[in-house]
Amino acid sequence: MDILTLFVVIPVLTITGILFLKDTKQVRVISAIGMGIQLIMAGVLVFLYLSARNAGNTDEMLFIKDYLWFSSLNIHYAIGVDGISVAMISLTSLVVFAGIFASWEVEFLTKEFFVSLILLATGVFGFFISIDLFTMFLFYELAVIPMYLLIGIWGSGPKEYSAMKLTLMLMGGSALILLGLLGIYFNSAPDGGQFTFNLLEISKVTIPISAQRLFFPLTFVGFGVLGALFPFHTWSPDGHASAPTAVSMLHAGVLMKLGGYGAFRVAIFLMPEAASELNWIFIILTSISVVYGAFGAIAQKDLKYINAYSSVSHCGLVLFAVLMMNQTALNGAVIQMISHGLMTALFFALIGMLYGRTHTRMINQMGGLMKVIPFLSVAYVIAGLASLGLPGLSGFVAEMTIFVGAFQHTDIFHRVVTIVAVSSIVITAVYILRVVAILLLGPTTDEHHKHLTDAKWFERVSVVTLIGSVAGIGLAPYWLSTMIGNSLHPIVEKILAVNPF
């Protein structure tokens, strides 16, 4: 079996294993082992990928396997990865691994919880390895639907409402994607010949511009819903606030990246002509996402809402960068996806841990936690600093690259929106520092909070894994950005052919 299919098979085997277990302890251990193997596999994949590239392999995608599935519609199970997907797969396995440890103490219906969580992960992995649009879409929906049960059963607050809202909005997005994919398919052979769902083959032809004008907005908005594109972001705050810890981590950390990745891999890559015509609309919308999300975060008192709005802002930045359509900005977009994925997963993990101790998520009900639980507090500060883009952590590398890329456009429109988007950095600093000050510094306000215990071993595993990765990217961004940059060349070439800005 090839290495990429293993990324789908291992989670499925883990799920099968869990189904046969009775004891909740064993369920946790098996999940951790399964996702641990997945993490190791991701490491192996990065190694294999880099060594293949160093050996001089310049194919657009590596490890390609292609099996015919439905011959009458030319649907294949086709897989392959480039640097971008390798990076996303690594991110996913990190976050899932950390997520398993962050949900170590789930007591209610433990087995079902881990099954749904890993099912979600299966969908995400499958999405990133697919190069056939049909299988990609199949995995995409597979990743979305377990969210309903995960939020609805194990969530908090108005969980039924949030779960329904999130599921329907995301499935609404995927409905638009489905239509877009069918449109792409039936226009994938403008010069005659067989239609195809294969990304690489479609990218070699030019889809008729009239079709592009129709299907580019559909696919972009469809993926944009998951990427928190304004005004389709409203599921995000409610959904994240109601979701249990590991689900928020996975959802903000990984699932929202499916939106960014899809918008870029499918919408922009396959339909660059329409993208360069219509991107101004979406640039405006994403700029609103970026700034509005940041302001939204300032206004909130609930830690999860703060982080959810901050995710809207940061994921908006991903889409913003994707729409800039040049090498630097796209590079930044991918790094931002990874950086935000790790950082926000760390945030949500920490919020979950704080909530488990203080039983509140309201910042005005907490204070002075630094003295009581130093490990978690320091971790929170690190996450915060990464979020506001402090040099030395991953956020800085990402945002810097994006804004440099955006500023390469010399016209007034792009300059203005870039300046507007840059202002979000300042706003981010405001809400991050405000939370840190109220939450961690100062005197301990609540008597009960003086006797809290610091992180347990499994929580430390989760936190250290994520912090290590955030700092790793921040200190040594070069290997990541080279890996991504090389893979971006063929994509950017196709885009620049129509849009030399």
Contacts to another protein by CB under 8 A:
69-73, 75, 134, 138-139, 141-142, 145, 148-149, 152-153, 159-160, 163-164, 167-168, 171-172, 175-176, 178-179, 182-183, 185-186, 214
Report, in Å, the least distance between residue 415 CB and another protein: 37
Closer residue to another protein, CB minimum distance, 170 or 263? 170
Q: Which is nearer to another protein, 168 or 299 (CB)?
A: 168
Both structure tokens of 198: 């294969």
- DSSP letters along 338-404, please? HHHHHHHHHHHHHHHHHHHHHS--BGGG---HHHH-HHHHHHHHHHHHHHTT-TTSHHHHHHHHHHH
Give me the least distance between CB of 112 and another protein, in Å please: 9
Residue closer to another protein by CB (options 169, 324) is 169
DSSP letters spanning 253-321 = IIIHHHHHHHIIIIIIHH-HHHHHHHHHHHHHHHHHHHHHHHHHHHH--BHHHHHHHHHHHHHHHHHHH
Of residues 7 and 134, the one with the C-beta less far from another protein: 134
Give the residue from 123, 126, 130, 129 showing the smallest Cα distance to 147.
123
Residue closer to another protein (CB basis): 182 or 390: 182
Q: Least separation, in Å, of the C-beta of 146 and another protein?
A: 10
Q: How far is the CB of 77 from another protein (least distance, A)?
A: 10
Q: Six-digit token pair at 230?
A: 């304004």
Shortest reach from residue 143's CB to another protein, in Å: 10
Q: How far apart are CA 493 and CA 316, in angstroms?
A: 24
359-363 long-range contacts (CB < 8 A, ≥24 apart) are 361/302, 361/303, 361/304, 362/301, 362/302, 362/303, 363/301, 363/302, 363/303, 363/306, 363/435, 363/438, 363/439
CB of 306 to another protein, least distance (A): 27
Smallest distance, another protein to C-beta of residue 125, A: 14
- The minimum distance between CB 168 and another protein, in angstroms, equals 6
- Collect contacts of 296-299 with beta carbons under 8 A, ≥24 apart: 296/237, 297/427, 297/428, 297/431, 298/427, 298/430, 298/431, 298/434
Q: At 130, phi and psi to the nearest 5?
A: -75, 140
If the CB atoms of residues 186 and 280 are measured against another protein, the closer one turns out to be 186
Nearer to another protein, 167 or 465 (CB): 167
Nearer to another protein, 60 or 160 (CB): 160
